Structure 1
Amino acid sequence: MIRLDLRRDGISRRIALTIIAAMLISVALNIAFVQLAGVWARPPLSQTGLLEQIAVTTRMLEAAPIDQREHLAQAASNPQLQVHWSTQRESLALPGPGTPIDLNEVPELRGLLASHPRQVEGFQPADWPEDSPTAHYKLVMQLADGSWLDFTPPYRSWGLSSGMRFTIIGLLALLAALLVAWVGTRQLAGPLQRFARAARRFGSDLRAPPIRLEGPHELRQAITAFNTMQAQIQHFIAERTQMLAAISHDLRAPLTRMRLRGEFIEDAEQQRKLFRDVDEMQAMINAALGFFRDETHLETATPFDLAELLQTLVDDYRDQQIAVDFKGPANLVYLGRPLGLKRAITNLIDNAVKYAQPPAVRLSSNAHSLFIDVCDQGPGIPEAALEEVFVPFFRLESSRNRNTGGVGLGLPSARTAVREQGGELKLSNQPGGGLRARIVLPRIND
């Protein structure tokens, strides 16, 4: 059995309060409508509360002398009912024949008036011409001597049919439910949306501040757990960077001593090999430090022309006598980090130039994403290694020559820079041969 703890500000409590509020507001609106629309309703005559008064007044006037009936009718009038007596039906200014009323079917009149047959007619406001100032409920009754009594409520009854009343009551209930549901949903969805945006921001900005605690109890628990995780990750990264900086500092001194001692080696070949190893170790240390610093130092996102950035890179390679083909629109504005993207694309082009020829850059887009493809016509990469190459220090080329094999941080650094933009970098072998590195960036950064 599911137990709802309504004492705590949780999601279940908010949903329950939303339902209760919707019901209370719906009832309040319906009561207000009934009170305000009471004079506009069309109740049947049996529900007006005036039939008993009509019956008593009729019996009184019928028993009175004819010359006193007009004065008695005026005396019987009150704010609830106007009474008028006339010797002729035509003087009552009726719109026409009314609806016949059988006294035997009206319990309020049957006991007092059914002893003598008499003509009784009822009129609704709709029986009069439209916008007529005399349009009222009206009941006319013929007395035993042939004279007529006219009973008229003093107020104008504009009238709403029962079907219309039920429709309005239903619409008011629906309006109350929608209004409360909208407010309740915003109160619940607002903190969730802000939590989602903060989580996405931390994915691209490791220096993002903690998320403010808000919302129901369950969401506050999730925010607390996320803030704790974020603090631990930031602390871990700071410690790792500090450790690597210390290692780099400690290694440089013995590497310098090795180079100095290498100067005393008489064998030129052994000396060359030693200097090469020292240089490679120094390059690996510098590359590792640069890689980890790039992960923790993010530039500010800004609008820039992505097509122009790619064209500038291509022109730089052409200035070095390296032919790089480019296809794409002349202009394409994107909100992101241009230096990080430039570094990632440069790494991809360098790999294509180093391992395969000729490289080509393609820029395209659809409604949701931007695509940057760096393609070559080289041998490609084994399918099993398409993800392994993103592991730091992993190299397909097995030699230790940094001029050919590098240190294995180019592709991991490129993927890190792309993910900082909220995008992704993937490799795939092309059907016709060669490798394609595709950068997918979100078209709308929110």
Structure 2
Amino acid sequence: MKLFGFFHLRSIGGQIAALVVASIIALHLILTASFLISRPDRAEPPPDGAHHLADAALLLGGAASEERPRLLADIARAFPKLDLEVRAPGTTTVVEDTEGQHLRGIRRHLGHGYRVMTLPPEAGEHKVAVELPDGTVIAGRVDPGPRPPRFWGGPWMMTLLFALISVTMLGLWAAHALARPLSSFARAAEGFSLDGTAEPLPERGPEEIRSVARALNRMHERIAGLMADRTRMLAAISHDLRTPITRLRLRAEFIEDETHRKRMLIDLDQMRAMLESVLSLLRNDRKMEAVTLVDIASTLQLIADQFADMGHTVHYDGPAQATAAARPDDLHRGITNLVENAVRFGAEVTIRLDVAGTRLTIDVEDDGPGISDARKQEMLEPFVRGDDARNMDDTTGFGLGLSIARAIAIAHGGELSLHDRQPNGLIVRMQLPVWQPNRLAA
């Protein structure tokens, strides 16, 4: 890694460092501009009346007592609006609840040794009294000036609020810019498919994010290529095996022993059925059928009627209509596999449909012996059969029905699980989303 590679703006670390530096600079610029505009360190000049009163107090405080009458007369002639007067000590009524800008200016101008007081308003006029160091009190008319700004309207509070809002907006924007590629990764993982309809991950954002996006896109291409190769290989195997199986059936017809001929034909039929089942499990379903709106209730009722026509006791229990986004043929094949397993082990089967919110639940219930809790998860794996027979006949399966149904449920964005039925039997539950916007759009 380069010495200053961390500060490279195309990397996540560089962008975070740039965000921190930009936030600090913006905050300092805002505070500096507010300081230069408001200048709280600069002493505000008092109003004219307050300035004149402070000067008169300093002049009288420094003069001898015999000179004060002449000075008072001179000040009164020079500043008639000040209405300066001398009051005897102890005769002045003070208002204690005022602390205006004019009082602060007078106190700063006079310094220690002088006491500044506010007098009650007289005929709408505001007067301020100043007690000289020797106890003499002079009073004059002073304009109180503008009212001080409120706490929320002060320059510092407005500056801090503006800085807080600016830095917060900058942080939210940066967090969104950094998290957006990660959110696209999550959406791509949820919509991962091998049918070619999924869009590749956009290669944008910081350098690390773009590298991950490129790696995931290459991985998707490699997986799709491997699945395509597997499908072509299985298709070739299926084509090559069908021909010798057909020849063996023709040769079996010439066997004179009726018992041996029937057994061989049964074995050949089982071989063909097993081959078709394996191909059904491993083939690339998504290229063969698109997602569309399906009336799930009608599909389940049709499956129940088909098995009833074959002599099985299969009932449908659910609403008369329930629409969802699905692949109709795949869903039909998956539910058919579940019902085939159920009628193989039970005498009576019920297909239940329940729609709640954004998910629908399909339960296939039978009254057979059920499956122990220790084997429920194992039964969902390929080539695991529910019976313990080592020889296959017409009543046994290949252990692929549940696996195919589970693969179909997962391809629809759902899940398949096994549950106990009371008092006996098994419930195979397939849960599917009602809507699949991404898949339906594809």
Give me the TM-score of the superposition, normalised by structure 2: 0.72
Q: Which amino acid aligns with 2:416?
A: L
CA distance in 2, matches of 1:239, 1:102: 92
Decide which of 318, 326, 334 is 1:344's aligned counterpart: 334
Q: Give the corresponding residue for 1:86.
A: 81
Contact 1:390/1:411 (8 A) holds in 2: yes
User: Are 2:405 and 1:404 aligned?
Assistant: no
After superposition, residues 126-205 of structure 1 pair within 5 angstroms as 159-161=149-151, 166-202=156-192
Which position in structure 1 is the counterpart of 2:89? none
- Per-residue CA deviations over 1:216-269 (Å, capped at 9, x if unaligned) read 333333323322322222111111111111112222332233233334433333
Q: 3-state SS of the aligned residue for 2:334?
A: helix
- How many angstroms apart in 1 are the aligned matches of 2:75 and 2:106? 29
Match of 1:47 in 2: 43
Q: Secondary structure at the match of 1:48?
A: coil
Runs (5+) with no aligned partner, structure 2: 60-70, 86-93, 438-442
The question of 1:441 aligning with 2:441 is answered no
2:109 is matched with 108
3-state SS of 2:423 partner: coil
Contact 1:30 1:172 in 2 (8 A): no
CA contact (8 A) 2:342 2:366 kept: yes
Q: Show the counterpart of 2:419.
A: 428
Tell me by how many angstroms 1:199 deviates.
Answer: 0.9
Partners of 1:51 and 1:109 within 8 A in 2: no
TM-score of the two chains, using structure 1 as the length reference: 0.72
Cα distance in 1 for residues equivalent to 2:337 and 2:237: 26
User: Which residue pairs with 2:408 in the alignment?
Assistant: 417
Instruction: Say yes or no: does 1:373 pair with 2:363.
Output: yes
Spell out, residue by residue over 1:321-372, the C-alpha distance to the aligned partner (whole angstroms, 9 max, x if none): 5432333344444333333222211211121122212111222355564322
Distance 2:28 2:328 in 1: 59
2:7 equivalent to 1:6: yes
2:286 corresponds to 1:257: no
**In structure 2, distance between residues paired with 1:193 and 1:87:** 73
| CA pair 251-317 structure 1, distance change in 2 beyond 3 A | closer
Say if 2:414 and 2:432, in contact at 8 Å, map to a contact too: yes
State the alpha-carbon separation in 2 of the partners of residues 298 and 139 from structure 1: 96
What residue in structure 2 maps to residue 80 of structure 1? none
Q: Which of 358, 363, 376 does residue 348 from structure 2 map onto?
A: 358
Structure 2: distance between partners of 1:365 and 1:244: 38
CA distance in 2, matches of 1:147, 1:197: 79
What residue number does 2:210 align with? 220
- Give 1:212 deviation, angstroms: 2.0
Which residue does 2:91 correspond to in 1? none
The answer to whether the 8 A contact 2:46-2:106 is kept is no
Question: What SS does the corresponding residue of 1:5 show, helix, strand or coil?
Answer: helix
- Aligned counterparts of 1:139 and 1:31: Cα–Cα separation in 2: 37
CA RMSD of aligned residues (A): 4.6
Output aligned runs, 1:289-308, within 5 Å: 289-297=279-287, 299-308=289-298
Corresponding residue of 2:274: 284
CA 1:202/1:63 → structure 2, altered by over 3 Å: closer, same or farther? Answer: same
Deviations 1:45-87 (A, max 9, x none): x8214599947995799899779847xxxxxxxxxxxxxx526
Contact 1:392 1:412 survives alignment (8 Å): yes
* 1:435 alignment partner AA: L
2:127/2:141 contact within 8 Å kept? no
Q: Which residue of 2 aligns with 1:81?
A: none
Structure 2 CA distance for partners of 1:67 and 1:32, relative to 1, 3 Å: closer
Distance 1:171 1:339, change over 3 A: farther
In structure 2, C-alpha distance between the alignment counterparts of 1:183 and 1:347, rounded to whole Å: 52
Tell me which residue corresponds to 1:313: 303
1:274 aligns to what? 264
Which SS does the other structure have where 1:212 is aligned? coil
Report the alpha carbon displacement of residue 174 of structure 1 after superposing the two structures with TM.
Answer: 3.1
